[in-house]
């Protein structure tokens, strides 16, 4: 609480204040206090099978409800947090929250958590993942980490060795926003990803653009031959879903199937229920077998 008050004294918002740097600094201070002040939440967006639309899991997406500015989208505060290293703390909070939530829901669907470049570069990542899995009791194979090509591309040798270490725990690795980064094909050859998420931009144009359709086809063929499931991001229409189905896409995510929503609404929608053990307040179990 003291922290928040401090933040508000130092950091007042003025309509006439056109100093972008100062505004950004204010936002950073607020973001720093946001964790302690319960302004952050994780929302979950469903991921389904394309052919059966059965639920496969949920992607955890961070939300910030700012006391004055209201809802601030991740596209605005994640890059900011990335620049000044705050993302490491935020990311740890998201990972912990998402794993705790997933450990409490049934059926045992997976949870996918985004990792930013700074988080991935952090030396303690491997240790953190082990600690969070142990303390939340989530089985390692129910966690999936989403990384983009550019995150991995920064230092490929190190990236692949860290990814191998994490994968050895049983945690799944997904390649996010595929098709928008660098060196895609080489990256696919070098690492056994558990999933490739084809970027929304291709799905957007799938029905109107022959090129987009050709790229989708090529990526699906690639996925088949490498035996890596492909998830299509940003499915908004029935037309897109059936097109992806015809082309043999494995999984889908998008507003058509469900928007990101709080865990409470997921329960209300009947898509998950909270298991009795978690609900009865006994707390999460500690599993010691995550290394096996």
Token pair 């994640």 is at which residue?
78
How many chain residues touch Mg ion (CB under 5 A)? 5
Min dist. Cβ of residue 292 to ligand C2E (A): 28
> Does 114 help bind Mg ion (rule: CB under 5 A)?
yes
- With CB under 5 to 8 Å by kind, the binding choice for 223 among Mg ion, ligand C2E, none is none
- With CB under 5 to 8 Å by kind, the binding choice for 255 among ligand C2E, Mg ion, none is ligand C2E
Min dist. Cβ of residue 18 to Mg ion (A): 30
The residue within the footprint of Mg ion, chosen from 101, 149, 177, 250 (CB under 5 A), is 177
- State which of positions 6-25 bind Mg ion (CB under 5 A): none
> Does 45 help bind Mg ion (rule: CB under 5 A)?
no
The residue within the footprint of Mg ion, chosen from 101, 176, 250, 251 (CB under 5 A), is 176
Give the integer Cα–Cα distance in Å for 210 and 11.
Answer: 51
The residue within the footprint of Mg ion, chosen from 92, 101, 146, 149 (CB under 5 A), is 146
- With CB under 5 to 8 Å by kind, the binding choice for 34 among ligand C2E, Mg ion, none is none
Closer to Mg ion by Cβ: residue 26 or 228: 228
Q: What sign has the CA pseudo-torsion 117, 123, 126, 130? A: negative
Give the integer Cα–Cα distance in Å for 73 and 71.
Answer: 6
Q: Quick one: DSSP state of residue 254?
A: S
- Tell me how crowded residue 250 is: count the other CB atoms within 10 A of its CB: 19
Token pair 């359709």 is at which residue?
213
- With CB under 5 to 8 Å by kind, the binding choice for 16 among Mg ion, ligand C2E, none is none
List contacts with ligand C2E (CB under 6 A).
Answer: 45, 61-62, 73-75, 78, 91, 94, 114-116, 146, 176-177, 234-236, 253-255, 260
> Does 251 help bind Mg ion (rule: CB under 5 A)?
no
Per residue, what are the HEC states of 151-201? Answer: HHHCCHHHHHHHHHHHHHCCCEEEEEEECCCCCHHHHHHHCCCCEEEECHH
Closer to ligand C2E by Cβ: residue 11 or 41: 41
Closer to ligand C2E by Cβ: residue 33 or 60: 60
Closer to ligand C2E by Cβ: residue 78 or 188: 78
59 Cβ contact list (under 8 Å, min separation 6): 44, 45, 47, 111, 112, 113, 114, 146, 253, 260
Beta bridge partners of 71: 65
Cα–chain-centroid distance for residue 282?
A: 28
């Amino acid at each position: 609480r003291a922290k928040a008050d401090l933040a508000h004294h130092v950091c007042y918002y003025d309509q006439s204040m056109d100093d972008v740097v100062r505004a950004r600094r204010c936002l950073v201070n607020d973001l720093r206090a946001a964790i302690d002040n319960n302004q952050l939440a994780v929302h979950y967006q469903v991921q389904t099978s394309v052919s059966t639309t059965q639920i496969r899991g949920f992607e955890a997406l961070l939300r910030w409800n700012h006391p004055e500015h209201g809802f601030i989208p991740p596209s605005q505060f994640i890059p900011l947090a990335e620049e000044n290293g705050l993302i490491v703390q935020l990311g740890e909070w998201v990972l912990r929250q998402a794993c705790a939530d997933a450990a409490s829901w049934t059926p045992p669907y997976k949870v996918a958590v985004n990792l930013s470049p700074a988080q991935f570069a952090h030396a303690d990542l491997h240790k953190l993942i082990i600690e969070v899995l142990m303390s939340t009791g989530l089985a390692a194979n129910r966690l999936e980490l989403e990384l983009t090509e550019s995150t991995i591309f920064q230092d490929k040798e190190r990236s692949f060795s860290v990814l191998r270490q994490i994968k050895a725990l049983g945690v799944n690795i997904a390649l996010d926003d595929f098709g928008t980064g660098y060196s895609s094909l080489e990256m696919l050859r070098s690492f056994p990803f558990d999933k490739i998420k084809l970027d929304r931009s291709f799905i957007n144009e799938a029905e109107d653009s022959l090129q987009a359709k050709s790229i989708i086809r090529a990526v699906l063929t690639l996925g088949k031959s490498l035996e890596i499931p492909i998830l299509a991001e940003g499915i908004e229409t029935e037309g897109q879903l059936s097109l992806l189905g015809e082309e043999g896409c494995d999984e889908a995510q998008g507003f058509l199937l469900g928007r990101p929503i709080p865990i409470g609404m997921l329960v209300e929608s009947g898509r998950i229920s909270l298991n009795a053990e978690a609900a009865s307040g006994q707390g999460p179990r500690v599993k010691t077998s995550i290394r096996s």
